[in-house]
A and B are shown apart, each in its own frame.
Chain A
Amino acid sequence: MHCLVVEDDPVIAGHIVDGLGAAGIATTLAVNAAQALERGRAVAFDGVVLDRLLPDGNGIDVLRTWRRHGPVPPVLMLSALGSVKDRIEGLESGADDYLAKPFHMAELVARVNAIARRLPQRGSSEPAVPSVGRLRLDPSRHAACFATASVELNRKLYSLLAHLMLHTDRLVTRDMLLEHVWGYSFSPGTNIVESNMSRLRSRLQELGIDPILTRRGEGYVLLAGACR
């Protein structure tokens, strides 16, 4: 994977380039809007990390200019402006995800992976009911089924498992789950994800599997290997 990183702060830019590099993602750096426009046209990237406030312009304007000239790779917008309004503005301008500073490197890598993987699914009408190995979901009963056994889940646990299954073998962070499963636009500042995840894990253990791996301080991974 090859990502364009648009960030003017040298310390943060270095940190992002190193972090993505460590996760096996190649990067090209642009330190202002002019470089971003130029480099964005020259190479076809798999994803873009775009800072919202740049010394010679605005990330939103850069994104709009790209859009006028053709298809744009998935964009993760970065910003110190973290209010809900700022987030909505960023997403409405065409960014695929929005991450407020300060952030953890694991969060950034997980989100870049998530949006870059979402690419081929764009335009597909209905997301198929996911299944991983022998683990599958039964939407009619809100149940998780493994081999012949099944266990019913409440709506939240069902959505939580569905989200993890959509991102099998990828790190999904606590904030990503709060945003996508719960739809919360605020930080609840409580262990909502941890408690519900532990509840989900116990339910899956009733099926005889324990496929969810906790990466301390980073997030969760649903391991396909554990569902065979």
Chain B
Amino acid sequence: MIGAARDRWPGAGRMFFMIGGVFTLAMLAMGTLVFVVAERTVALHIDRDLIHHQDKFLHVPGASPSAPERAATSAEVAARIRDWQARKITSERTYTLFDPAGRIVAGRLNVRPPPGLSDVLFLGGGRTWQSGRALAAPLADGSLFVIVQHSEAAAGLRALLPHLVIGAFFAALTAGLGATWYFAHLTARRLAATGATADAIAAAGDLSRRVPMAGLDGMFARQAQSLNRMLDRMESMAETQRHFASALAHDLRTPLTRLSTLLTGPGDDAHAAAERECAGIITIFDALLRLAEIEGGRHGGAMVALSLGALVEDVAETMEPVIADAGGTLITGPLDPVAIHGDAGLITQLLVNLLQNVATHTPVGTSARLSVHRVGDHAELLLRDDGPGLPQQDCARVLRPLERGGAASGRRGSGLGLSIAQAIVRFHQGRLHLGDNGPGLEVRIAFPAVVPA
């Protein structure tokens, strides 16, 4: 059965033997402990009993509060023993007093152990050997007072104890091993579905498969949820990759086709035009390389505290002539004094890419304003223009690599400008949002601000 379980759920049998073995050892240790503790408790109880009764026989209480307690004489002890014998019919204790010569003065049991506590064997009722516990005390005149206790109940308990412990051990062992086997079986069965899903994905690359959640609860459900979330993310990444590859193939096919036509056809300008097409292809590859660098954190810059306003001023100085040449206007301000933790090269590229979009994708006469605001614990970069803006459905799409807005499909450019911007913002733990400026486009970017020291 365990062999079969091992085949169906490899590792379950081993788990059973490991946990079962540890459990058996623990039960053995516990049984031994119970046995020793019970045995010692009974023995202690008997010894305390013996000492108590010895005190009762060997001391005579004072007659008045002023007269102190004193030791009983041999005669008094003998009298007490006889008195006790007369009153008690049966008892688990017997008292005997020996004179200095070793003869019995009072009592019946002829057992003379050494002074103090000891184990003794004696003939009970003159017929059967019995074991008991004895306490012997010498008196002042050389006599010896002996109490022997033979407790039937204690002897019975002692006889029962090993059986009890062994019985309990086997019962607990059976229950424990059963529970362990059941647990191993349950775990294996629940993990089997996860394993089957992972194997299916590994074999066929089918990322649409998910770990079935039916019948799962507690930690198994949580684990399945985590795995399914991971699969969701992987599927979306694979989908992006597929989409990206086909978009890239398309984007390269167009300039390459034009290039091939130029190279085979006649024309004086063919050389310059072919160079332009090559430059276009190289631009796409440069941008792809840059995107991969930024997404992989391999862009080579250092993260420092940067004044966002100073960077905006610097880039605006460079980009203002570019936007003016495209027939637009760039205005900056207000620039709130706020710092972010960032890479100056990357933030510069972010600003250049955003302003480049204004220059290439807005009509003549468009006015754009770039400003920096402090909003709570964030630095907000705001670029608003009064151009045609983007339809709502294009806002998410244009952030993906090689995707262009509907109106820009014919324009040149790598098609990666906003993807790079998005990657830079993400690298800085910021958020980029494209919205409507009514009319025009609003680009709103929030970075965590550096708290002034």
CB distance from B403 to the nearest CB of A (A): 16
**Binary B-proximity of A108-120 (CB < 8 A = 1, otherwise 0):** 0000000000000
CB distance from A194 to the nearest CB of B (A): 8
CA–CA, A180 to B299, complex, Å?
18
Give chain A residues whose Cβ lies under 8 Å from the Cβ of B49: none
Most buried by B among A82, A182, A186: A186
**Contacts A84-B299, A102-B282, A217-B275; A186 near B290 (Cβ below 8 A):** yes
CA–CA, A152 to B443, complex, Å?
33
CA–CA, A195 to B322, complex, Å?
5
Most buried by B among A189, A190, A195, A196: A189
CA–CA, A189 to B348, complex, Å?
14
A195 B325 Cβ-Cβ under 8 A: yes
User: B356 near A: Cβ within 8 Å?
Assistant: yes
Give chain B residues whose Cβ lies under 8 Å from the Cβ of A88: 300
CB distance from B326 to the nearest CB of A (A): 9
List the B residue with the shortest CB-CB distance to A86. Answer: B300
Give chain B residues whose Cβ lies under 8 Å from the Cβ of A189: 283, 286-287, 356, 413-414, 417
CB distance from B186 to the nearest CB of A (A): 51
User: B298 near A: Cβ within 8 Å?
Assistant: yes
A82 B286 Cβ-Cβ under 8 A: yes
A198 B325 Cβ-Cβ under 8 A: yes
State which of A85, A190, A199 has its C-beta within 8 Å of the C-beta of B298: A85
CB distance from B268 to the nearest CB of A (A): 15
A84 B324 Cβ-Cβ under 8 A: no
A190 B360 Cβ-Cβ under 8 A: yes
State which of A83, A85, A154, A185 has its C-beta within 8 Å of the C-beta of B345: A185
**Contacts A82-B289, A83-B293; A190 near B322 (Cβ below 8 A):** yes
List the A residue with the shortest CB-CB distance to B300. Answer: A84
List the A residue with the shortest CB-CB distance to B414. Answer: A189
Give chain B residues whose Cβ lies under 8 Å from the Cβ of A184: 345, 348-349, 352
User: B58 near A: Cβ within 8 Å?
Assistant: no
Q: Which of B298-352 contact A (CB under 8 A)?
A: 298-301, 314, 317-319, 321-322, 324-325, 345, 348-349, 352
Give the number of A-B contacts (CB < 8 Å).
Answer: 77
CB distance from B424 to the nearest CB of A (A): 10
Q: Which of A76-112 contact B (CB under 8 A)?
A: 82-85, 87-88, 102
Interface residues on A, range: 20 to 34
State which of A85, A87, A182, A185 has its C-beta within 8 Å of the C-beta of B318: A182
Give chain B residues whose Cβ lies under 8 Å from the Cβ of A83: 289, 293, 298, 300
A192 B322 Cβ-Cβ under 8 A: yes
Give chain A residues whose Cβ lies under 8 Å from the Cβ of B278: 102
CA–CA, A43 to B17, complex, Å?
78
CB distance from B328 to the nearest CB of A (A): 12
Give chain B residues whose Cβ lies under 8 Å from the Cβ of A124: none
User: B272 near A: Cβ within 8 Å?
Assistant: yes
State which of A154, A155, A188, A191 has its C-beta within 8 Å of the C-beta of B325: A191
CA–CA, A187 to B349, complex, Å?
9
Interface residues on B, range: 20 to 34
Give chain A residues whose Cβ lies under 8 Å from the Cβ of B417: 189
Give chain A residues whose Cβ lies under 8 Å from the Cβ of B360: 190
User: A141 near B: Cβ within 8 Å?
Assistant: no
CB distance from B303 to the nearest CB of A (A): 15
Give chain B residues whose Cβ lies under 8 Å from the Cβ of A192: 318-319, 322, 352
B321 A188 Cβ-Cβ under 8 A: no
B299 A187 Cβ-Cβ under 8 A: no
Most buried by B among A88, A191, A195: A195
User: B359 near A: Cβ within 8 Å?
Assistant: yes
List the A residue with the shortest CB-CB distance to B349. Answer: A186
User: A64 near B: Cβ within 8 Å?
Assistant: no
Give chain A residues whose Cβ lies under 8 Å from the Cβ of B286: 82, 186-187, 189
Give chain B residues whose Cβ lies under 8 Å from the Cβ of A188: 349, 352-353, 356
List the B residue with the shortest CB-CB distance to A89. Answer: B300
List the A residue with the shortest CB-CB distance to B356. Answer: A190
A84 B272 Cβ-Cβ under 8 A: no
CB distance from A222 to the nearest CB of B (A): 19
**Contacts A85-B300, A189-B414; A195 near B289 (Cβ below 8 A):** no
CA–CA, A196 to B323, complex, Å?
11
Give chain A residues whose Cβ lies under 8 Å from the Cβ of B275: 217
Give chain A residues whose Cβ lies under 8 Å from the Cβ of B300: 83-85, 87-88, 185
CA–CA, A185 to B294, complex, Å?
12
User: A156 near B: Cβ within 8 Å?
Assistant: yes
CB distance from B272 to the nearest CB of A (A): 7
B322 A155 Cβ-Cβ under 8 A: no
B318 A156 Cβ-Cβ under 8 A: yes
Given pairs A85-B299, A195-B321, A195-B325, 6 additional interface contacts (CB within 8 A):
A102-B278, A183-B345, A186-B286, A189-B286, A191-B325, A192-B319
Interface residues of B (CB under 8 A from A): 272, 275, 278, 282-283, 286-287, 289-290, 293, 298-301, 314, 317-319, 321-322, 324-325, 345, 348-349, 352-353, 356, 359-360, 413-414, 417
Q: List 14 A-B contacts (CB under 8 A).
A: A83-B289, A84-B298, A84-B299, A155-B314, A184-B352, A188-B349, A188-B353, A188-B356, A189-B414, A190-B360, A192-B318, A195-B325, A198-B321, A217-B272
